[in-house]
Chains A and B, each alone.
Chain A
């Protein structure tokens, strides 16, 4: 049950759309005649968003989408000069950083926006979880969102290797070894990722293909479904507000909510520009597979909590390999995370589900705690 205000009064969408289109001439009319944009424009005009004290969390979804767009644009620009290959990858990134006009800026923005996007995605996912935005009928929105989260982690993992520097090489080695600990299929997955038993130029080619072709296709597919579902179902009102049956103000998406969202995007853009110019993403030293692993090597911050979890597991758990048990546990936890809407039946029925709220907060505290521990250890 949703509570809505009616300000301002809505017209018949189709009539409105036709009216708007008929008022326009030239290109707009020409396009409307061929594509029938009227209903779409009407939908956008009619679209509204709940406005309440938790509304701020809504902006993280849009911000993630904005940063993803930045990723796509800067990624395409980098593709003009990047050359995958054990003997050319590092040199081409070096060329981008040193010789290409504003290449340093494009690469730094690509790297920084990747990190900001993952950070924003974490906030978006957990805010949706705690506001119980996954409850019926938005189960599929949650499922596609979590799958997108995994895809984004895949982007982070595969993209990290592409500069082919020393840190990336050893981080990939450790990361793929973790994948190798999966029971039964672990070795096959490891060989599939690496293209052999070791991290080599073949691995780089595979990660490149994954990063610029396979993952983008999957991401665009999932993102389309995710956005379509949001358009169809609208944005959910937090369960706590819905239960109070208090009136909830609804803002028109255009221009009220969109302008607010635009402010968030500009803030992200300002942060990106400042980070890229003041702290350009380092290139490191070229990968040398024969060199010893750098001391204190750690994965990127968004994998640190997983790494830290596996690192402190005992070698044997109930007689089984500790790493294998850890990887299995993480996989099961991820699988359960996808199916949260189907497990939290109380929330779907419009009732409070404190157990799931506790799970959410525990996961947040665990991730933050382990990440900080891993960072300072």
Chain B
């Protein structure tokens, strides 16, 4: 039955697309900045309390910006001043979709037509409807007859449609989660679908939500994991690929590691079993501990072979982290004393890389590989620490050298002062012994 439903929808789409009225922008008018005022606009502006706001919304839209007017979607004769003439069926008037299932095909008349869309944006995709029909939303609307599941206009709006790249758009990276939450945080709407309504709040508090709130538009939001037009919760096996789109190396290690098979066997989803899904927090080293916030204890018994391995890995990471901190302190002190430690400071970034790599290699759950990565970091760190200690030793040498040279200089100053005093005394004595006339003041011209 589902197959039949999809087929009907696609046939409906094709038939609508064939009858698509595209008068204004069809003949090379795609880049027009301003559409000529049509009879639709003139009349609907006059009946402001009813359909006027829609004209105002349309005027701000991407459609208006590229020169598309009312009749490009709704059909009719935009030159006729008489409403009945303008809305004649034989003038191509189709009006607005009346059912939710009509919305997707209505938009797809243009958005699924590669020839047509190419005029506005040669790289724009035209498979949105096809994707949508496979999504949970599309299936609910087109196969189950839902009057609540989302369709194009629920996310993009009706008349005030903006480009996805426009920051004001309801589906821009910064706003898409709010848009999804309009339905998914609405208990009444979600009651039928039996879906939780705290997802948005959880995501907002997650490391992803926080990054987006901090202005990082590359941080994942709803559609990055679930898809947009083909929105569907990822399956248990597929989660690793979803996360792996960004966390590439972690996925590689997990897929090649020892935990993949038991996870599959137990039906546990990769990634989210340890890290959760919507309320993902910053992954701390403590996740490797046996007790909460450690997550290994969820499956492993205390002190079993895996628990011991996790403890060893955690110990290694803690050792390298604290070693780095101590070395940074040593370099900081040396810097405060005016020593040049820029080179070891630069090399510290290698250790930082190794630490990051060790944290990533953890996902393979292979002690030997982890130990190899860690050992390299520790070796580099030992070298840097030696440089830091050498800088402090050099500072000590300088201090002692300064003290020694100052003692010498002060000794010379004292000797000179004594000599000056003795000369002065000798001069006074000479003056006292000299005959009165010789010591008297004389006036020189």
A residues near B (Cβ < 8 Å) are 1-9, 94, 97-98, 104-105, 247, 251, 255-256, 259-260, 262-263, 266-267, 269-270, 273-274, 277-280, 282-283
The reply to whether A279 and B406 form a contact with Cβ atoms under 8 Å apart is no
B side interface size, CB within 8 A: 32
Binds A, one of B218-226, B347-355, B411-419: B411-419
Residue of A nearest to B437 (CB): A6
The reply to whether B409 and A269 form a contact with Cβ atoms under 8 Å apart is yes
Q: Collect the chain B residues with CB atoms within 8 Å of residue A3's CB.
A: 441, 443-444
Q: Once A and B bind, how many residue pairs between them come within 8 Å at the CB atom?
A: 83
Known A98-B340, A259-B416: A273·B402 in contact at CB below 8 Å: yes
What are 6 sample pairs from A and B whose C-beta atoms fall under 8 A apart?
Answer: A247-B441, A266-B412, A267-B413, A274-B406, A277-B398, A282-B338
Q: B343 on the interface (CB 8 Å rule)?
A: yes
- B166 CB to closest chain A CB (Å) equals 30
Q: Collect the chain A residues with CB atoms within 8 Å of residue B410's CB.
A: 270
Q: Collect the chain A residues with CB atoms within 8 Å of residue B445's CB.
A: 1-2
Interface of A is mostly: helix
Known A6-B438, A98-B340: A266·B409 in contact at CB below 8 Å: yes
Residue of A nearest to B420 (CB): A259
The reply to whether A262 and B338 form a contact with Cβ atoms under 8 Å apart is no
Shortest 7 CB-CB contacts between residues of A and residues of B: A247-B441, A280-B338, A277-B402, A98-B340, A270-B409, A2-B444, A4-B444
Q: Collect the chain B residues with CB atoms within 8 Å of residue A279's CB.
A: 338
Q: Collect the chain A residues with CB atoms within 8 Å of residue B427's CB.
A: 7, 251, 256
Q: B430 on the interface (CB 8 Å rule)?
A: yes
Known A94-B342, A269-B409: A277·B401 in contact at CB below 8 Å: yes
Among A5, A263, A273, A282, contact of B441 (Cβ-Cβ < 8 Å): A5
Residue of A nearest to B403 (CB): A277
Q: Collect the chain B residues with CB atoms within 8 Å of residue A283's CB.
A: 340
Residue of A nearest to B434 (CB): A7
- B411 CB to closest chain A CB (Å) equals 10
As a 0/1 sequence over residues 263 to 276 of chain B, the CB contacts with chain A under 8 angstroms (1 = contact) are 00000000000000
Among B409, B424, B431, B442, contact of A273 (Cβ-Cβ < 8 Å): B409
Q: Collect the chain A residues with CB atoms within 8 Å of residue B406's CB.
A: 270, 273-274
Q: B439 on the interface (CB 8 Å rule)?
A: yes
Among B401, B420, B442, contact of A6 (Cβ-Cβ < 8 Å): B442
Q: Collect the chain A residues with CB atoms within 8 Å of residue B442's CB.
A: 4-6
Q: B118 on the interface (CB 8 Å rule)?
A: no
Which chain B residues numbered 76 to 128 have a C-beta less than 8 Å away from chain A?
Answer: none
Q: Collect the chain A residues with CB atoms within 8 Å of residue B416's CB.
A: 259, 262-263, 266
Among B340, B405, B439, contact of A7 (Cβ-Cβ < 8 Å): B439
- A158 CB to closest chain B CB (Å) equals 24
Among A5, A9, A262, A274, contact of B402 (Cβ-Cβ < 8 Å): A274
Other contacts beyond A4-B444, A256-B427: 7, CB < 8 A: A4-B442, A98-B343, A256-B424, A266-B413, A273-B405, A277-B398, A277-B399
Residue of A nearest to B424 (CB): A256
The reply to whether A104 and B340 form a contact with Cβ atoms under 8 Å apart is yes
Residue of B nearest to A276 (CB): B402
How distant is the Cα of A256 from the Cα of B423 in the complex, in angstroms? 7
Interface of B is mostly: helix
How distant is the Cα of A110 from the Cα of B405 in the complex, in angstroms? 18
B residues near A (Cβ < 8 Å) are 338, 340, 342-343, 398-399, 401-402, 405-406, 409-410, 412-413, 416-417, 419-420, 423-424, 427, 430-431, 434, 438-445
Residue of A nearest to B400 (CB): A277
The reply to whether A259 and B423 form a contact with Cβ atoms under 8 Å apart is yes
Residue of B nearest to A257 (CB): B420
Q: Collect the chain B residues with CB atoms within 8 Å of residue A269's CB.
A: 409
How distant is the Cα of A99 from the Cα of B430 in the complex, in angstroms? 57
- A125 CB to closest chain B CB (Å) equals 26
Q: Collect the chain B residues with CB atoms within 8 Å of residue A4's CB.
A: 441-444
The reply to whether A9 and B444 form a contact with Cβ atoms under 8 Å apart is no
How distant is the Cα of A278 from the Cα of B434 in the complex, in angstroms? 51
Q: Collect the chain B residues with CB atoms within 8 Å of residue A2's CB.
A: 443-445
Q: Collect the chain A residues with CB atoms within 8 Å of residue B440's CB.
A: 5-6
How distant is the Cα of A267 from the Cα of B413 in the complex, in angstroms? 8
The reply to whether B340 and A8 form a contact with Cβ atoms under 8 Å apart is no
How distant is the Cα of A255 from the Cα of B431 in the complex, in angstroms? 17
| Most B Cβ at <10 Å: residue of A2, A266, A273, A274 | A266
Residue of B nearest to A97 (CB): B340
Q: Collect the chain B residues with CB atoms within 8 Å of residue A267's CB.
A: 413
Q: Collect the chain B residues with CB atoms within 8 Å of residue A270's CB.
A: 406, 409-410, 413
How distant is the Cα of A282 from the Cα of B409 in the complex, in angstroms? 25
- B292 CB to closest chain A CB (Å) equals 45
- B422 CB to closest chain A CB (Å) equals 10
How distant is the Cα of A278 from the Cα of B337 in the complex, in angstroms? 7
How distant is the Cα of A94 from the Cα of B402 in the complex, in angstroms? 22
The reply to whether B431 and A7 form a contact with Cβ atoms under 8 Å apart is yes
Known A3-B444, A255-B423: A278·B438 in contact at CB below 8 Å: no
Known A1-B443, A274-B402, A277-B398: A7·B413 in contact at CB below 8 Å: no
Among A9, A259, A260, contact of B438 (Cβ-Cβ < 8 Å): A9
How distant is the Cα of A173 from the Cα of B417 in the complex, in angstroms? 47
How distant is the Cα of A256 from the Cα of B412 in the complex, in angstroms? 16
- B398 CB to closest chain A CB (Å) equals 5
The reply to whether B444 and A7 form a contact with Cβ atoms under 8 Å apart is no
Residue of A nearest to B399 (CB): A277
How distant is the Cα of A7 from the Cα of B426 in the complex, in angstroms? 11
How distant is the Cα of A277 from the Cα of B396 in the complex, in angstroms? 10
Known A3-B441, A274-B402, A277-B399: A260·B420 in contact at CB below 8 Å: yes
Q: Collect the chain B residues with CB atoms within 8 Å of residue A256's CB.
A: 420, 423-424, 427
Q: Collect the chain B residues with CB atoms within 8 Å of residue A274's CB.
A: 402, 406
Residue of B nearest to A246 (CB): B441
- B311 CB to closest chain A CB (Å) equals 42
How distant is the Cα of A9 from the Cα of B248 in the complex, in angstroms? 97
Q: Collect the chain A residues with CB atoms within 8 Å of residue B412's CB.
A: 266
- A236 CB to closest chain B CB (Å) equals 13
| Most B Cβ at <10 Å: residue of A7, A247, A260, A277 | A277
How distant is the Cα of A283 from the Cα of B442 in the complex, in angstroms? 58
- A270 CB to closest chain B CB (Å) equals 4
Residue of B nearest to A283 (CB): B340
Q: Collect the chain A residues with CB atoms within 8 Å of residue B420's CB.
A: 256, 259-260, 263
Known A263-B420, A270-B409: A94·B340 in contact at CB below 8 Å: yes
How distant is the Cα of A251 from the Cα of B445 in the complex, in angstroms? 18
- B410 CB to closest chain A CB (Å) equals 7
- B378 CB to closest chain A CB (Å) equals 25
